Amino acid sequence: MTPTQLLVPTFRNQLTALLGWLDKAEAHALAHNHAPGDLLAVRLAVDMFPLGTQLRFASFLAQEAVYRLRGEEVPAELLAVRTHGAMRPDEPGTLDDCRAILAQALAFLDGVGETELDAAADRPLAHALPMGMVFDMTGSSYVRDWALPQVGFHVDMAYALLRSAGVPLGKRDYVPHMWAYLRPGTMPAA
């Protein structure tokens, strides 16, 4: 599987699932007379980022990977998404703000060509983190060891945060893209 074939569909599936979770979270909050936006401040531990930051980071990292594999600088407006999440976690914005950030990332991924990232597979890639650490990798090792796990982590944290807030999410919500593969007649009766 090539970098493009692996990253783009995986990130699309994960970000699309996040959008669905936000809809379900909003409906749950309203049904229980809670302000839906309050969910963005939910944390699992005091030293962890809240839901709003997890959503911003997932969106940022999915797009950052494309820029890195293209050998391009990450645009300032995208860096601002990460910076807002990291530096202003107590100002998450609204659910609609988060939806817009996720939708923008999905639109960006839709613009990636079918083989656009594949030439980077064996190229050296220096991945610098904001605190000064630099990882020397190839495009393939970056995809496998950084990009996929990082987006996955923030998606998993968003799921855990919403579940901890009582949002009724389950496996169907986590992997909604799998229903396209369901063999007819194999769904158990309810």
Against a cut of 0.85, is the pTM above it?
Answer: yes
Q: Domain holding 131: CATH number?
A: 1.20.120.450
Does residue 99 lie within any of the structural domains? yes
Q: Which domain holds residue 95?
A: 3-181
Q: What is the pLDDT of residue 8?
A: 98
Does residue 189 lie within any of the structural domains? no
Q: What is the pLDDT of residue 169?
A: 97
Q: What is the pLDDT of residue 190?
A: 74
Does residue 19 lie within any of the structural domains? yes
pLDDT tier for residue 189 given thresholds of 50, 70 and 90: confident
For β-strands 124-128 and 134-138, DSSP reports them as antiparallel
Does residue 125 lie within any of the structural domains? yes
Does residue 190 lie within any of the structural domains? no
Average the pLDDT over 157-165 and give the result: 97
Does residue 187 lie within any of the structural domains? no
Domain count, the chain: 1
pLDDT tier for residue 67 given thresholds of 50, 70 and 90: very high
Residue 71 has pLDDT above 80, yes or no: yes
Does residue 31 lie within any of the structural domains? yes
> pLDDT tens across 35-59, in order?
999 999 999 999 999 999 999 999 9
Task: Return d(Cα 29, Cα 149) in angstroms, integer.
Answer: 30
User: Is the torsion defined by CA of 184, 185, 187, 190 positive or negative?
Assistant: positive
Does residue 20 lie within any of the structural domains? yes
- What are the CA-CA distances from residue 11 to residues 61, 62, 103, 175, 189 (Å)? 9, 6, 12, 12, 31
Residue type, 145: D
Average the pLDDT over 61-85 and give the result: 96
